[in-house]
Amino acid sequence: MVLNIGPQHPSTHGVLRLEVMTDGEIVSKITPHLGYLHRCFEKHAENVTYEQVIPFTDRCDYLASMNSNFGYVVAMEDLMEIEVSERVQYIRVIMAELNRIASHLLALGVYGLDIGAFTPFLYMLRDRERILDMFEYTCGARLLYNYMWIGGVSHDLPKDFEKICFEFLDYFEPQIEEYNNLLTYNKIFIERTADVGVIPADIAISYGVSGPNLRGSGVNWDVRKDEPYSIYDRFEFDIPTGTGEFGTLGDCFDRYWVRMLEISQSAKIIRQALKDLPGGDVFETMPKKIRPPKGSIYRRTESPRGDLGYYIMSDGTPSPSRVKMRSPAFTALSCLDEVSSGWMISDVLAILGSLDIVLGEIDR
Amino acid sequence: MSRYFTNIYDTVNTLWTGMRITFRHMMNIRRDNVTLQYPEERWPRPERNIGFNHGDYNVIRSRLHVDIDDCIGCYRCERACPVDCIKIDTIKSDRGEDIPSVSHTGVTSNGTKKGFVVSRFTIDMSECCYCNLCTYPCPEECIFMVGGPNSSKHPIDYEFSEVDRKDLIYEFAKKLTPKQREGLTKTDEKAEA
Amino acid sequence: MTVDFLIDLFSKFIDVPVVAFLLAVTIAGIPLFVLMALNATVAVYVERKVSAFMMDRIGPMGQGPGLHAGKWGVLQTIADALKLLIKEDTVPASADKLLFKMAPFIIFIGAFLGIAALPFSSVIQVVDFNVGVFYIIAVASVGVIGIVMAGWASNNKWSLYGAMRSAAQIISYEIPAGLSIIVPIMMAGTMNLQSLIEFQTGSVWGILPNWIIFNNPFSFLAFFIFFISAVAETNRTPFDIPEAESELVAGWMTEYSGFRWAVFFLSEYANMFVVSGLAATAFLGGWQSPIPGLFNSPLWGLFWFLGKIIFLIFVMMWFRWTFPRLRVDQLMHVCWKVFIPIAMLNIFGVGIWKLIIG
C-alpha cells in the first residue's frame, strides 16, 4: 500500500512529503519529495551584496540562525583575509553555543512530541524561551538575528550580559536532570527508541551524514575539534559519541543521547568563554567596503545539525557570483530510506525525528 | 527469565518517577506559571543598559518609521535593503532653500543642507524582513525602528497588523499634486538653464 | 430509584403495560443522558486545566473586559460545544455514507449502556442486574464495531490504520480486564454490583476500610492490572495508537467534523466514566465511605462514588500527560506476555489465599 505522509502532517519537521510503500505495517521503501519550502536562497545571493546575504542565511536554518551566520562569515573572512578582534571571536562563540543549546532543546522536545510525550516539549521550550530572551536583550530579535557581520558583529554585548548568562546557566544545568528523569530514562521511551533505526558507522560515512547523527553511530568527528575554526581550539570540551548502552550502537536513542550530552558541553564552553571575555571594540575590524578579491572558497563549520559548508565564488564586484550552502540535514534525510526499511510506520516517524531535519535548510 | 522481572521493575520505577515530576509541576503552578495572558499582560520591553555609544539606536526590531523632514534623499537605505522594500523618488531643488509651498525645509535638524525634495518614500512593511540593515547607513538617523532606545522619537509599536495588505505600505513623503511636481521640476530646469 | 420502581409506578396509572414500560424507560434514561453530557463538559474542562498545570501553563482563562470565557475559563467548554454544533457537516464524497453516519452512534450506545448498570448509591441505580459485571464488560466491546466502521467508511488509509490498530488493541485488552475482574467476583461470590459493594462493608484492623483492594496482595495487583487494561480499552495514552496525533493525524476520527466528532469525544469520556465506575465498584468499595462507619447515608454514598470516579479519571489524565505512547507490537507484547500471565497468577493466588487463610 502506498501511503503519503503528506506535506501537511503534525509530525514532519516542516513541509516534507514522504511517499511510503508499506506492506501492512512494515515499510519497504520511502521516497522523500522535497521542494515545498524552496525560496531561491542561492539565486537571491547572486543579486544582493555580500552583507545583504546575511539575512538570507538566517532564514535557511531558522532554528540555528547564529550558526548559519557564523559559517558564512567565517568563509568570507577567510576569502578576504580579515583577522577579527579577540572580543568578536569570543562573542561569536558564546552566541553560537547558546544557539546550539536552543536548537537542541527544540529538537529533543519535538522528538518527545513525536513519540507521544507531550510534557517534556513544553518544559524544554520554556527554557529555550529564556535563551531567546537573552538574544533579544542583545540584538533585538528572537529568532532571525542578522547578528554576525563580516569583520565583526552588529551589536556589542550589553553591560550585564555576563551576569544574566551565568544566572541562566546556573538555572539550566539542573533542569537537564529533570528532563532525563521525565523522558530519557522512561522505560516506554527507551522501548520506542532503542534498537530502532540503527545507522551503522560505515553506512553513515558513505552517505555523508555528519553532526550528532554521525556521532551517535560512534564515529568521533566534530568540525570544531578536527578542523578548528575561529577560537574553538582554546576551549576544553568533550565530544560525546553514542555508546549503545541502552540498545545497539547507532540507534535513535544514541542520537538523542548525544544531543542531550552536547547541551552540557555547550554550557561548559559558554562558561569558559564568558570567564575569559576580553574588552575592546567590536567594530574596529569591520571593513568599510566589502570587495573580496577574485577567487572562491569553501569552509565548513559545525551547526547543530552537522557539517554546514559554504562555497563562495567572487569576481571582484560587491555582489557574490555564486554562494552555495551545503546543508547537513539534506544528507541526513537521504539516508532515511536505507535505515528505515523493515520497520513499522511508527518507527519511521521516530527515525525521522531523531535525524533532526529542518526543511528550511534542506530546500533553501 | 530474570530479565523479564527486571524489565517490569524498571518500568514501574521509571514511570513512577516521571509521574512524580509532573505532579510536582501541577502542584506548583502558581509559582511556575509561564503564560502571559496577552492583551491584558504584556511582556515589558527589556531596559537595556547599553553603555556604549555606537549605533545604540538600532537595538530593537519593530515597525520602521522615517522622520521625513530629516531625510536628505541620499538613497543609502534603499540600496542597503536586501529585499527592496524601500522605494524613494527625489526631485532636485536649490541647496538649503526652504520651499514653503510644498512644506519642504531646507536644513535638517542636524544642520545638513538638503539638495533634494523627497517626492515618494514608501516602505512596504509586508516585505520587510526586519534585518535592520537600512537604519545603519542613514547619515541623519532619520529612519529607525520605533520604541526601545528610540522611544523619545516615537513610542513603541509592534502591533501594527492591518486587515488589508495595501494598508501595510507606509508612505512617509508628503503628497505632491501634479502641479506642484511640475512646478518643482520647472524650477529645477530653469536653474540648470 | 431503579427502572423497576418506575415501571411499577407507571403501571398503576396506565393500563397498557407496554406504554408504561416505555415511559418508565425513557424517564430513567434522561438523567443518564444528562449525566453523560455533564461528565463530558466537566471532564474536558478538567483535562485542559490539569494538562496545562502539568505543563507549567494555565489553560483556558477568561479575563479582561467582559470575562469572555468566564472566570478561570469555565465557559470555554460551552463555547466549544456550541462551535462543534454549528460546524459544517462534511461527509467525504467517496465514503460509505450509511456506515459513516452510523458509526458515532454505535460507539455512543456502547458507552451509554454501560452507565446504566453502575450503582451510584444504595438506592440509586438504573437497573440492578444479577450479572452486572459481566454485562458491563460485554457492553464495552460494542464500541469496537463502531470504531472499525468509522475507520473503514472514511475511505482513508490513515483512518483504516487507526481503526485496525484500535480493534486489535481493544479486543486484546479485554482479556486481562476480564481476568482481573474475576478476582473480586471470586472473593465476593457474586456478580451483582450491589452485593459486591455490600461485601466490602466493615473495616480491617479498625482503620482501613474493607475494600477488596486492601484485602490481600493478589487483589491489590489485580486492581492495577484491571485499571491499566481499562486505560487501554478507552484508547488513552500511553495506549493511544489509534488516535495518535503525531502519527496518524487523528487516526480513525480524521474525517469526522462538527457534531459527529462531538459524539466521539462524548463517548470517549463516557467510556472512561464507565470503566472508572467499574473499578471503583469492584475494587474500591463503590459508594462505601473510606472512613468505616461514618458518612454512610445514601446521599453521602453518591458523593463517595462520584469522588472515586473523579479520582480515577484524574489518574488517567495524569498518565496521558506524562508518558510517551507505546508502539503497536509493544502494546501487544505487554498485553499477551505480561498482563495475562500476571492476571492468571492473580486468580490462582487469590484462590489459594482464600483456601488457606479464608
Q: What is the predicted pLDDT for the residue at A169?
A: 92
How many interface pairs between A and B have CB atoms less than 8 angstroms apart? 78
Identify the H or E element spanning A26: strand A26-33
Answer whether A178 sits within 8 Å of B130, measured CB to CB.
no
Q: Which three three-digit cell numbers place residue C315?
A: 489518574
pLDDT tens per residue, range C102-124 = 888 898 888 888 888 888 888 77
**Nearest beta carbon to residue B18 from set A48, A56, A186:** A186
Contacts of A288 (CB under 8 A, 6+ apart): none
In tens, the pLDDT along C179-231 reads 999 998 888 888 888 888 888 887 777 667 778 888 788 888 899 999 999 88
Which comes out higher in pLDDT, residue B51 or C341? C341
Per-residue pLDDT averaged across A83-107, rounded? 92
With contact defined as beta carbons under 8 Å apart, do A215 and A242 qualify? yes
Q: How confident is the model at residue A312 (pLDDT cuts 50, 70, 90)?
A: very high
Q: What is the pLDDT of residues C314-357, one digit of tens each?
A: 999 998 888 888 888 888 888 999 999 999 999 999 999 888 88
* CB contacts, 8 Å: C158 with chain A: 3
What is the mean predicted confidence (pLDDT) over A78-87?
89
Encode pLDDT of C130-157 as tens digits: 888 889 988 888 888 888 888 888 877 7
Q: Tell me if C238 and A188 make a contact (CB, 8 A cut-off).
A: yes
Specify whether C122 is located in the same domain as C217.
yes
Q: Which residue of A has its CA nearest to B137?
A: A288
Half-sphere exposure of B160 (CA within 13 A, CB side): 19
Contact of A323 with A88, CB cutoff 8 Å: no
- CA C131 → CA A65, B85, C138, C191, C199, distances in Å? 66, 77, 11, 5, 16
pLDDT of A279 > 80? The answer is yes
Whether A263 shows a pLDDT value over 90: the answer reads yes
Structural domain harbouring B28: 2-32
- Cβ <8 Å between A158 and B17: no
Say yes or no: C57 and C106 in one domain.
Answer: no
Cβ proximity of C61 and C69 under 8 Å? yes
- Interface pTM (ipTM) of the complex? 0.85
Q: Is the pLDDT of residue A163 over 60?
A: yes
Q: Cα separation of C77 and C48, whole Å?
A: 10
Q: In this complex, is the C-beta atom of A113 within 8 Å of any C-beta atom belonging to chain C?
A: yes
Distance from CA of B26 to the nearest CA of C (A): 4
Tell me which of C53, C86, C119 is where a domain ends.
C86
Do B97 and B135 reside in the same domain of the chain? yes
Averaged over A323-336, what is the pLDDT? Answer: 90
Does residue B50 sit within a domain?
no
The 10s digit of each residue's pLDDT in C5-61 is: 777 777 777 777 788 888 888 888 888 888 888 888 889 889 998 888 888 888 888
Q: Determine, for residues C64 and B23 on separate chains, whether the beta-carbon distance falls below 8 Å.
A: no
Is residue C358 over pLDDT 70? no
Task: Assess whether pLDDT exceeds 80 at residue A253.
Answer: yes
The pLDDT value given to residue C65? 54
The pLDDT value given to residue A166: 92
Gap from B146 CA to chain C (nearest CA, Å)? 27
CATH architecture assignment, domain A41-331? Orthogonal Bundle (1.10)
C254 & C316 share domain: yes
Give CA–CA dist A342/A195, Å, rounded. Answer: 13
Identify the band that residue B55 occupies on the pLDDT scale cut at 50, 70 and 90: very low
Is B168 inside any structural domain? yes
Whichever domain contains B77, its CATH number is 3.30.70.3270
Q: Which domain holds residue C170?
A: 91-356
Within this chain, do residues C56 and C104 fall inside the same structural domain, yes or no? no
β-pair type (B169-171, B86-92): unpaired
pLDDT at C2 over 60: yes
Residue that finishes a domain, picked among C59, C86, C113: C86
Residue B174 falls within a domain, yes or no? yes
Confidence of residue A96 (pLDDT cuts 50, 70, 90): very high
pLDDT averaged over chain C?
A: 83
Tell me what percent of the residues of chain A surpass a pLDDT of 90: 30
Phi-psi region of B52 (alpha: psi -120 to 50; beta: other; left: phi over 0): beta
Q: Chain A closest CA to C51's CA: distance in Å?
A: 8
Statement to judge: residues C4 and C143 lie in one domain: no
Specify the pLDDT at position B50.
Answer: 38
C-alpha B148/C-alpha B155 separation (Å) is 8
pLDDT at A90: 92
Query: Residue C323 and residue A191: Cβ atoms within 8 Å?
Result: no
Claim to verify: residue C75 and residue C116 sit in the same structural domain: no
C-alpha cell, A54: 546575511
Q: Do C322 and A117 touch (CB under 8 A)?
A: yes
Q: Give the model's pLDDT for residue A72.
A: 92
Q: Report pLDDT for A298.
A: 93
**Chains near A (3 or more Cβ pairs under 8 Å):** B, C
Q: Residue A356 pLDDT more than 70?
A: yes
pLDDT at residue number C251: 64
Is it the case that residue A237 has pLDDT exceeding 60? yes
Cβ-based interface (< 8 Å): residues of B facing A: 7, 10-11, 14-15, 17-18, 21-22, 25, 34, 46, 48-52, 54-55, 58-61, 80-82, 129-133, 145, 148
- At residue C246, does pLDDT exceed 80? no
Q: Which residue among B14, B59, B133 sits closest to A185, beta carbon to beta carbon?
A: B14
Q: Does residue A304 carry a pLDDT above 70?
A: yes
The pLDDT confidence band at residue A74, using thresholds 50, 70 and 90, is: very high
pLDDT score of B187: 64
What mean pLDDT, rounded, does chain A reach? 88
The C-alpha of C322 sits at a distance from chain B's nearest C-alpha, in angstroms, of 6
Closest chain C C-alpha to A176 CA, distance in angstroms: 16
Residue B45 lies in a domain: no
Give residue-wise pLDDT tens across range A44-55.
889 999 989 999
Domain check: are C81 and C122 in the same one?
no
A55:B14 CB<8 A: no
Of B11, B48, B52, Cβ closest to residue A137: B48
User: What's the Cα-to-Cα distance from C221 to each of A134, B168, C185, rounded to whole Å?
Assistant: 51, 66, 15
Please tell me the total count of domains within chain C.
2
Q: Are C178 and C275 in contact (CB under 8 A)?
A: no
Specify whether C206 is located in the same domain as C326: yes
Residue C123 CB partners (closer than 8 Å, separation 6+)? C1, C298
Same structural domain, C188 and C303: yes
Among chain B residues, the shortest Cα distance to C321 is held by B22
In this prediction, residue A75 has a pLDDT band, given cuts at 50, 70 and 90, of very high
Residue B146 lies in a domain: yes
**Domain ends where: C34, C60, C86?**
C86
Q: Cβ of C63 and B37 within 8 Å?
A: yes
Residue spans per domain, chain A? 41-331
> What is the average per-residue pLDDT within A322-349?
88
Answer whether A140 sits within 8 Å of B132, measured CB to CB: yes
All cell numbers assigned to C127: 437497573
Q: Are residues C208 and C98 in the same domain?
A: yes
Of C54, C58, C338, the CB nearest to B22: C54
Out of A9, A25, A119, the one facing C322 most closely (by C-beta) is: A119
C298 shares a domain with C337: yes
Nearest CB to C63 within list B23, B25, B40: B40
Is B51 within a domain? Answer: no
Q: Given pLDDT bands bounded at 50, 70 and 90, which one contains residue C247?
A: low
Query: Which residue of chain C comes nearest to B24, CA vs CA?
Result: C54
Domain co-membership, C333 together with C348:
yes
Q: Is the pLDDT of residue A360 over 80?
A: yes
Q: Can you give the pLDDT at residue C200? A: 82
pLDDT in tens, B8-38: 898 899 889 888 888 888 888 888 777 777 7
Nearest to A182 among B21, B129, B131 (CB): B21
DSSP A192-243: HHTTSS---HHHHHHHT--THHHHHTT----HHHHS--TTGGGS--------
Q: How far is A170 from chain C (nearest CA, A)?
A: 20
Cβ distance C249 to A188 less than 8 Å, yes or no, reads no
> C273: which residues sit within 8 A by CB, 6+ positions away?
C36, C39, C43, C111, C115, C309, C313
pLDDT score of C4 more than 90: no
Q: Would you say residue B43 lies in a domain? A: no
